[in-house]
Amino acid sequence: MNSPELSNDLRRTLPIGIFDSGVGGLTVYRALHNRLPNEHFVYLGDTARVPYGTKSLATVERYAIENSVFLASRGIKLLVVACNTASALALPKIRATIGLDVVGVIGPGARKAVAVSGPQPRIAVIATEATIQSDAYAASIRQACEAAEIIQLACPLFVPLAEENWTDEPETRSIAKRYLKRVVDFAPESLVMGCTHYPILRNVIQKTVGANVKLIDSGEACADEVAALLKEKGLENPREVEGKRRLCDDLDHFYVTDAADRFGRVAERFLGAKPAKLEAIELGEVDSRR
């Protein structure tokens, strides 16, 4: 955990922590990296225990706390929960455990969808079955605007298609057309891509629902809110970066709980680069009761 005695000047130079149940959170890392080029990041992919969507509330909370405690032990100034399931179920427990600012992906995505839509917004949400069943996006959208009309659809096959980088194959277009028919019929103003994998398929999703529908990347919305929070708290890193930083450079550290080689390959598909620092760890080495 971070020492409360740390000066604000020292805290400003600490990294931002990010965790996900696997590789999908790399799209959130990319959004944060692009939005905040002066910051550096520590990413944990809990690849040994993915997926979280089939687990009980108690199990998701336990995993999320273990992940959060590990990242806090690395010395971070803020935590981003890139996992939609953990964002839906575990944020209060995480905040109570690590004593740091914590930002999930669901609230920012929901608020952005309302902001870009009209006074009586029509919003579609596509996500995994577990996220849809949690009703977390719909609840967050209604919290931002009670008048919102919402349609929610699970698109589970989008995850393996993204991981295989099948972004514009005929099969992908056919699956997208079948999944999103109800969205097209609903004619939303905005569509929330409520799974971290889905931005990889952004082009085929946009072509399927039509150019007039605003696509909301929850990772990008999260990055905007993180930027605002850092500014509000006076925690922006003062380091100035010359030129454009490369994704996955040696300023960022990646950890996984299993299958590091596969993580590196998927990272290259998602981001165009393999992590310069990639390390496999055992979460059991960290005492989650601290």
pLDDT of 205 reads: 98
pLDDT of 200 reads: 94
pLDDT of 287 reads: 44
Please report, for the chain, the start and end positions of each structural domain, with discontinuous segments joined by +. Answer: 8-104+220-285, 106-218
DSSP 253-273: EEEESS-HHHHHHHHHHHHSS
3-state secondary structure of 126: strand
Question: Of the residues 83, 155, 222, 248, which is catalytic?
Answer: 83
Read off the pLDDT of residues 98-136 as tens digits, 9 standing for 90 and up.
999 999 999 999 999 999 999 999 999 999 888 898 999
Residue 248 is a catalytic residue: no
pLDDT of 29 reads: 97
Third-level CATH fold of 8-104+220-285: Rossmann fold (3.40.50)
Residue 145 is a catalytic residue: no
Across 10-19, average pLDDT: 94
Question: Of the residues 145, 195, 222, 248, which is catalytic?
Answer: 195
Cα–Cα distance measured from residue 28 to residue 197, given in angstroms and rounded to the nearest whole number: 9
Cα–Cα distance measured from residue 198 to residue 187, given in angstroms and rounded to the nearest whole number: 20
Q: Give 130's contacts (C-beta < 8 A, 6+ positions apart).
A: 51, 52, 53, 54, 85
Do domains 8-104+220-285 and 106-218 share one topology? The answer is yes
CA end-to-end span of the chain: 8
Cα–Cα distance measured from residue 57 to residue 253, given in angstroms and rounded to the nearest whole number: 29
- The pTM (predicted TM-score) of the whole model is 0.90
Read off the pLDDT of residues 191-225 as tens digits, 9 standing for 90 and up.
999 999 999 999 999 999 999 999 999 999 999 99
Q: In what order do the strands lie in the sheet with 253-256?
A: 102-103, 78-81, 16-20, 41-45, 253-256, 278-280
Q: How confident is the model at residue 23 (pLDDT cuts 50, 70, 90)?
A: very high
Q: Which two tokens stand for residue 128?
A: 């995994």
| CATH code for the structural domain at 106-218 | 3.40.50.1860
Cα–Cα distance measured from residue 108 to residue 117, given in angstroms and rounded to the nearest whole number: 14
Read off the pLDDT of residues 236-290 as tens digits, 9 standing for 90 and up.
999 877 667 889 999 999 999 999 999 999 999 899 999 999 999 998 654 443 3
